[in-house]
Structure 1
Amino acid sequence: MTATAAQRITSAGHARRVALELADEFAVTAAERDRLRQLPHGEVERLAASGLLAVTVPAAHGGAELPPSELAEVVRTLAVADPNIAQIPHSHFVYLNLLRLAGSAEQQQRYFAQVLDGAQIANAQSERGGATVAEVATTLRPDGPGLRVDGTKYYCTGSPFAGILAVLTRLDDPEGRTGLSPGEYVAFLPASSPGVEILDDWNALGQRTTGSGTVRFDGVRVERDQLVARDAAVRAPTGYGAFAQLLHVAIDTGIARGALSAATEFVRTRSRPWFEAKVERAIDDPLVIQRIGELAVSVTAAEATLTAAGLAVDAATASADPGQDVIARASLAVAAAKILADRAATEVSSALFEVSGTRSAATEYGLDHFWRNARTHTLHDPVRWKYQHLGRALLHDTPPPLHGVL
């Protein structure tokens, strides 16, 4: 997809207003797109044209430079309406953050300008076949005067919509021909580069329209000025992982709120009361009222913890050297928020049917997409390890690790 001429977002308030307007628009057809598995090309073009994809571009490069907490609110708002659309630009913002932290001045100028004009970045990061998800087999090798990338990536969210692919690679240069330091590099490549093949083969039970399919790279030409060394951001106390995880928390929290709103609307307008309640309306059933109240507490707690985590990530990213304690607090705050968001999204999207009654399971209403989206997206990284890091921090004074997903 080519870049779309974009408006300029000028403030946090402006960003929130635009996000709400788009969310109202996207919500109308979200369930139908999910049912038919229609990729939201038009909606993503609207998102790019709105200027929201550029809200984190530094002010020195002409952007609004909104803090992570405000970006999280934008993502949460979109996720209430359609978590597929909210997830599509996740990697876009993560790799803009990589450029901010580790890109050269020339790279920042080039890519930030493209994003301000409406360009979109998608990830080509995850692989299959390794002993763990952290292993990288996609290689960056010397090839004549330049370099080449070869490999296959999976779960490449947003790839059908993007003009730029951020490709995680491992340098394979045993003779030192490139002069590059060993390690992992992200190659920022045009999606239209010869040798790139983008496949729309994502077939999960939820998040069906995120475009999270396979991308293959066969001898794709790479120039040095397209490479960013990843370690400078990921293996250092920069808040890189906390920033990325915060956006996942925002998506799950948005799903929870969307499911609760759908449940309350269905009970108000379509549900019948259980005969033993001896009431005329479902909304007057005391057990339904109780359960809706319990679900509201779960969602409100998730939203409040998202806000607190966002402020912690703001502090971790506000300066070039925030200190390891500030970084650790941000990672732990986001870990706690992720646990509550995971719990709220899966609980509320399932309980939706419990409070709404049998007719809510009819396919014509499409209410199942809330649970399927929650169940799929919360698999992104296991919350059981969040508990581990929180417990170790309290019992052993052990800071959370620096690996990009915490």
Structure 2
Amino acid sequence: MGHLNIQQFVQTLPVQAAHRIQSGEEAINIAKQLATQFAQEASLRDQNRRLPVDELNAFSQSGLWSITIPKQYGGAGVSWRTALEVIKTISAVDPSLGQLPQNHLVILEHIRLDGTEQQKKFFFDLVLNGVRFGNAFSEIGNKHVADFKTILKPVNDNANQHGFEVNGKKFFATGALLAHWVPIVTVNDGGLPHLALVPRETAGLTIINDWSSFGQRTTASGTVIIEQVKVPVEHVIPIYQAFANPTVAGPVSQIIQAALDAGIARGAIEETIQYVRQYARPWIDANQDKATDDHYTIAAIGDLKIKLRAAEAVLDLAADQIEKASQEPSDDSVAEASVLVAEAKVLTTEIAILAANKLFELAGTRSTLAEHNLDRHWRNARTHTLHDPVRWKYHLVGNYFLNEIKPPRHPWA
């Protein structure tokens, strides 16, 4: 870890334009093909903290990073059900890879909601050609997650006429190390959040590979230092507008998180089934020859599958409501989307952690050996589900139904 010459990892821009996906069916088929490929060395990447450079290039060049771009701008304009299925499919084999487009997709949504027509055409075209957005959102040591200290101030000099300068420091910068552009969340002198999008090689932008978490090890979610970074006015988007009015910005941000957790659960359950079939032994009192005939093991697998199906069903309901609220935004439609997403977040969090725990209970002591690296499922589930406290999702849902209080408007609701 530490300061790195990030040119060794990825080219400044893709040499070839990314594939253009035409339909949701094609997107899901490509995701399944890539998942088979990504699964092959997923455990080794986790063990060695090896950044998935080749895999990430294949992922974005496949066209999957542009599928939510509206059709009128050249994208596939897939439904959120489809986009989430892609995230779940990749996350089931490698949640770090599944997390890397998470903020990228949120940025695309903010461009759709808050960008000018010129900005939409410019940035959507970049992404359609294979450009990846990273993430420089969160800060540490502040009063709370939305207490941003990264400052956007106007400047007017010969080199940057009618532009801005950004100064600050970020952490949890998922994907920034391997991005082509780094979107920075910053606030103006009125405290209003804006998104300043800059090429990764911009002067004053330093990306540090210091992510040391025990889970989601290869997201390179480390530090970004922003020192007198110059940004033209055309690359600044007033994202506060998405929360000043009823929009799906918050639910979209949250539902991608929930989809990733559902993918982790899928992967952990599949790993459990395969291990039990191949290696596990029945308990002595079961009076069975195979672990797959052990009554309690069978019941436990059934319980996991039921809970996963329920979580994914609510996730689909939430995706459908986001589609509705996107087409007909109102206080009520957006509130209902936020509530359904919160319900999905509760269920996907619970099944991800439960599945990762049950893996060892059903597989037995030998499954804890380092050579299997099965603990990566628990480490990834425990790490990613900490993104925002699920205990507050219960409060959001209960407050909505008991007191008729609509959810707050911010990226965590």
TM-score, normalised relative to structure 2 = 0.94
- Letter of the 1:309 partner, please give it: A
Residues 285 and 325 (structure 1), Cα distance of their counterparts in 2 relative to 1, 3 Å cut:
same
Query: What secondary structure is seen at the aligned counterpart in 1 of 2:169?
Result: strand
Counterpart CA distance in 2 for 1:121 and 1:59 is 20
More moved, 114-123 vs 135-144: 135-144
Structure 1 runs of 4+ aligned residues shifted over 4 Å read none
Query: What secondary structure is seen at the aligned counterpart in 2 of 1:199?
Result: strand
Instruction: List aligned pairs for 1:195-234, cutoff 5 A.
Output: 195-234=204-243
Query: Equivalent residue for 1:377?
Result: 384
Deviation at 1:304, TM superposition (A): 1.3
Query: What secondary structure is seen at the aligned counterpart in 2 of 1:352?
Result: helix
Q: Does 1:154 align with 2:171?
A: yes
Query: Equivalent residue for 1:285?
Result: 294
Query: What secondary structure is seen at the aligned counterpart in 2 of 1:156?
Result: coil
Q: Does 1:79 align with 2:79?
A: no
Q: Does 1:397 align with 2:378?
A: no
Q: Does 1:387 align with 2:394?
A: yes
Query: Equivalent residue for 1:19?
Result: 31
**Structure 1 residues 162-204: Cα deviation after superposition (integer angstroms, max 9, x where no partner):** 11111011113xxxxxxxx762211011111001111111010
Query: Equivalent residue for 1:3?
Result: 13
**Structure 1 residues 296-315: Cα deviation after superposition (integer angstroms, max 9, x where no partner):** 11111111111111111111
- Letter of the 2:396 partner, please give it: H
Counterpart CA distance in 2 for 1:301 and 1:3 is 41
Query: Equivalent residue for 2:137?
Result: 125
Counterpart CA distance in 2 for 1:3 and 1:47 is 15
Counterpart CA distance in 1 for 2:230 and 2:410 is 28
Q: Does 1:346 align with 2:356?
A: no
Counterpart CA distance in 2 for 1:220 and 1:323 is 37
1:88 pairs with 93, 100, 116, which one? 100
Deviation at 1:143, TM superposition (A): 3.0
Q: Check conservation: 1:19, 1:78, Cα contact below 8 A.
A: yes
Query: Equivalent residue for 1:178?
Result: none
Query: Equivalent residue for 1:177?
Result: none
- Letter of the 1:383 partner, please give it: V
Deviation at 1:142, TM superposition (A): 2.7
Query: What secondary structure is seen at the aligned counterpart in 2 of 1:65?
Result: coil
Q: Check conservation: 1:156, 1:215, Cα contact below 8 A.
A: yes
**Structure 1 residues 345-400: Cα deviation after superposition (integer angstroms, max 9, x where no partner):** 00010110000011111111111110000000000011111111111111111111
Counterpart CA distance in 2 for 1:135 and 1:251 is 26
- Letter of the 1:240 partner, please give it: A
Q: Check conservation: 1:69, 1:314, Cα contact below 8 A.
A: no
2:65 pairs with 37, 53, 68, which one? 53
2:303 pairs with 287, 294, 307, which one? 294
Deviation at 1:271, TM superposition (A): 1.0
Q: Check conservation: 1:3, 1:117, Cα contact below 8 A.
A: no
More moved, 140-149 vs 90-99: 140-149
Counterpart CA distance in 2 for 1:3 and 1:111 is 14
Query: What secondary structure is seen at the aligned counterpart in 1 of 2:145?
Result: coil
**Structure 1 residues 64-104: Cα deviation after superposition (integer angstroms, max 9, x where no partner):** 11122211111111111111101011010000100000001
Residue identity over aligned pairs, in percent, reads 40
Counterpart CA distance in 1 for 2:406 and 2:155 is 41
Q: Check conservation: 1:235, 1:403, Cα contact below 8 A.
A: no
Instruction: List aligned pairs for 1:168-179, cutoff 5 A.
Output: 168-172=185-189
- Letter of the 1:395 partner, please give it: L
Query: Equivalent residue for 2:154?
Result: 142
More moved, 291-300 vs 11-20: 291-300
Query: What secondary structure is seen at the aligned counterpart in 1 of 2:152?
Result: strand
More moved, 374-383 vs 323-332: 323-332
- Letter of the 1:336 partner, please give it: E
Counterpart CA distance in 1 for 2:292 and 2:371 is 22
Query: Equivalent residue for 1:99?
Result: 111
Query: What secondary structure is seen at the aligned counterpart in 1 of 2:215?
Result: coil
- Alpha-carbon RMSD across the aligned residues, in angstroms, is 1.1
- Letter of the 2:324 partner, please give it: A
- Letter of the 1:27 partner, please give it: A
Counterpart CA distance in 2 for 1:86 and 1:22 is 11
